[in-house]
Chains A and B, each alone.
Chain A
Amino acid sequence: MSQATILTVQNLRKYFPIGNGHLFRPSDKQVHAVDDVSFYLEKGEVLAVVGESGCGKSTLALTLLGLEKPTAGQIFFDGKEVTNLNRADLKIMRRHIQMIFQDPYESLNPLMTVGEIVAEPLVVHGLATRKNERTARVQKALEEAGLNPVDSYINRRPHELSGGQRQRVVIASALVLEPSLLLADEPVSMLDVSIRAEILNLLIDLRAKRGISILFITHDLSTVASFADRVAVMYLGRIVEIGAVADVLQDPQHPYTKALLSVVPVANPRLRHERIILQGETPNPIDVPTGCRFHPRCPIAIEACQRIDPPFVEIRNGQRAACIRIGEPTT
């Protein structure tokens, strides 16, 4: 763990028990939402976490924030362990980690004004208690989030704003505490395509200006290339491949990453390439397949894949993939 690391996650697991079971015998079935995930995030870095819906991306973010208690594993933030903090320490930590939620239509209280929403983190943490100081910080955050002129927005309510403007309000309220880490859970997936680029550019600017670190959760590989430094591909609660964006996108190692990349639309229609269409659906995370969890859908699975849970293989400077067939001449 170097000095420049802001977030380190080691063997993080989050299982949800399902069903009520009996009164005296709790259900032993569990959803393996996050299953043995390890990664790190450097200061000022953008790490994209990519995966299908239901692969545990959002649970990962919630667990990092302490909104869900991890079942096992450790989380270090800024060099300190934050895995199981008490309520007071958790509150202090949340001053430095802010989250942007997926749905800007639902994540704003319809009865509050934009000014109240953006000021809320300050109120909760008892910061900037003087009125003009608070107003100044709210205005600064709104400006940074690109809601200009600020005065025309500050007294409006969410239903008077468009989706893109709402997401800017969400971002402003995340910025008002000047956090060092931003967890962005699919911040653009609910927005029109024309507005997505604006919001992404806004995040890129923030990172350039503030040196803010961003964990960017998405299911859309095409936004990753333009935005992230490194990318982690998740499948069924586990990271199957991680590495620098250029390495992973140009030379994917894991068959799942390859399949994902092969179906990203390419602008040039003459540039034909083979698409790998995965068979079947994501297995249910209650009964995780034995061995490699990807083997039932893997195009190159062999018999050994049913038995061996593949360890990470180091490919090149930090790119790692979990597949036992890496390095074989045929793949």
Chain B
Amino acid sequence: MPQNNFWQSFFRNRMGVIGFVMLAIAVAVAIFAPLIAPYDPNTTVRVTIDNIYSPPSAQNWLGTDDAGKDVLTNLIYGARVSLIVGFFASFISLVIGGTIGLVAGFYGGRVENVLMRLTDILLVIPDLPLLIVLIALLGRGMPILIFVIGILGWTGTARVVRSQTLSVRERKFVQRARAIGAGNLYIIRRHIFPLVFPLMLVNAVLVISAAILNESTLAFLGLGDPTRLSWGQMLNFAFSRGAMSAGAWWSLVPPGLAIIWVVLGLTLLGNGLERVFNPRLEMHHLAIGDEMVARPPQVVGPVAVAAVGKTVGE
């Protein structure tokens, strides 16, 4: 696909651009956290009766949490954990899923059967219990979290990559390369992977959002990295340390909204990219496409859930 054509059709898709902007804001916040955050998250706070769950004020825009810490600061630094886990875990997923999809699609036959049945098995096992068991076995900590989320999130990628590989494999230039005398590895590297890669990229966006949701879920359940505060962990603390009974909505709502913000942004971006790379989708939804996005309540729920595919904890 020619370069300018890509950007043209991407920008024509308003929702995709909105998703891109939402994600860009989140990434910027994570990168520039020390510049934006009003306080240092690691300073010790003298906890008094006044600053436990104190409501939003001029000093603490989003109030304070149970330890008297600034919620806004926590929120800004929490973006780092969520995004780092999301990006690295999805990278692992993409490498595994991409390799399995390419190998299964290209070699076919028995290899494909074995790999795809393995994928199916992993696909039908509910993620959350498996995640909890693995975390319980391997211990807590960010690298383990990334690893566990990564090795469980590749099934969708494997399926998508396999189906695209199946179609590219049958194209004539692959046969021509074979006739020249090229080996399998060369053909995969030079002819198949470059044509499958755009699709992997689209898929990556959705994998990232699933990984972020997984991280938040685990953290909320108290299985996150205890040394780093993520959004899920903020929810966990707020939930388990009496924010509800104290009526401290400011320590519950912001992290929840932040998760929705990033996941929704990624989902919109993913759908936007998918339309660019898969023109058939666009034609299919031409008539109702704009109507659907005009009614936010119908979009936010189902789109986020449907596109992520396997949301955790359902």
Contacts and interface: CB of A to CB of B under 8 A. Distances in A.
Contacts of B178: 67
B172 A106 contact: yes
A124 B183 CA distance: 8
A120 B177 CA distance: 8
Interface in A215-233: none
B172 A103 contact: yes
Contact of A107 (B172, B182, B183, B194): B172
Interface residues of B, number: 17
A65 interface: yes
A87 B179 CA distance: 12
A120 B194 contact: no
Contacts of B177: 109, 120, 124
B15 to A, nearest CB: 28
B186 interface: yes
A88 B175 CA distance: 18
Chain A contact patch, size range? 20 to 34
A207 B177 CA distance: 24
Contacts of A106: 171-173
A101 B180 CA distance: 12
Contact of A109 (B179, B181, B186, B191): B191
A101 B176 contact: yes
Nearest to A177: B180
B262 to A, nearest CB: 32
Interface in A62-95: 65, 67, 87, 90-91, 94-95
A121 B180 contact: yes
A101 B181 contact: no
26 contacts: A67-B175, A67-B178, A67-B179, A87-B183, A91-B183, A94-B179, A94-B180, A94-B181, A98-B179, A99-B176, A101-B179, A103-B172, A106-B173, A109-B177, A109-B191, A110-B195, A111-B195, A120-B180, A120-B182, A121-B181, A124-B177, A124-B180, A124-B182, A125-B180, A170-B176, A173-B180
Interface in B157-175: 171-173, 175
Nearest to B179: A99
A113 to B, nearest CB: 13
Interface of B: 171-173, 175-183, 186, 190-191, 194-195
A242 interface: no
A29 to B, nearest CB: 19
Contacts of A91: 181, 183
A63 B178 CA distance: 13
A109 B180 contact: no
Nearest to A92: B181
A142 interface: no
A101 B172 CA distance: 8
Contacts of A121: 180-181
Contact of B180 (A98, A108, A110, A111): A98
A107 B176 contact: yes
B194 A111 contact: yes
Nearest to B195: A111
Interface in A111-130: 111, 120-121, 124-125
Given A109-B191, A111-B195, A90 B173 contact: no
Contacts of B176: 99, 101, 107-108, 170
